[in-house]
Amino acid sequence: IEDYDEKLVHLTKQVEKFLKFAGSNKQKGAIKTLNDGDKSNYLNQIKRNLERMQETLKYFKSEIYKIPKDQESKYKAKYQDYQLKIKNYKYEAQKIELELKGDSVGLLALEQGIDTKKQFKGLNQ
């Protein structure tokens, strides 16, 4: 489980580095000045790292029940923390993607918490 934890820490740092770059340069417009290839590469790196985090987190969870009971609560707390981080990182990545595409309507909907797939689920069935 320690190996998975180390890998998650490493992936977290990578994702935070990408998101920090986006956040620090947002005011300057540096990200928007990237060419289309760099923009897509940038987003793909974030998405790829998030997928790796989710995959590693699955293995991490499966190992929680194999460790001694006295350490189980510590790792369950870490698991929940990683879940929350992934959720927040996905939100930030989606926000960056919408900003780069110039989709102000989608960005507004995202910031207001409107999820049309969930909101209208079942109406078209």
Q: Give pLDDT tens digits for 6-23.
A: 999 999 999 988 887 766
Number of domains in the chain: 1
Domain contains 53: yes
- Counting Cα atoms < 13 Å in the Cβ hemisphere of 93 gives 22
Write down the pLDDT at residue 125.
38
Q: How many CA within 13 A on the CB side of residue 111? A: 10
Do the domain assignments include residue 75?
yes
Residue 85 lies in a domain: yes
Domain that includes residue 38, residue range: 2-117
Establish if 125 belongs to a structural domain: no
Write out pLDDT tens, residues 53-103. Answer: 999 999 999 999 898 889 899 999 999 999 999 999 998 888 888 877 777
Task: Report the alpha-carbon angle 4-9-14, nearest 5.
Answer: 125
Largest CA distance in the chain: 52
Q: Per-residue pLDDT tens for 99-115?
A: 777 777 776 777 777 65
Write the CB contacts of 4 (distance below 8 Å, at least 6 apart in sequence): 56, 57, 59, 60, 63
In a domain, 51, yes or no: yes
Tell me if 123 is assigned to some domain: no
Which CATH number goes with the domain that contains 62?
1.20.58.400
- pLDDT for the residue 119: 53
pTM (global) more than 0.85:
no
> The tokens of 54 are what?
């989710």
Provide CB contacts within 8 A for 74, sequence distance 6+: none
Residue 55 lies in a domain: yes
How many whole angstroms separate alpha carbon 117 and alpha carbon 81? 26
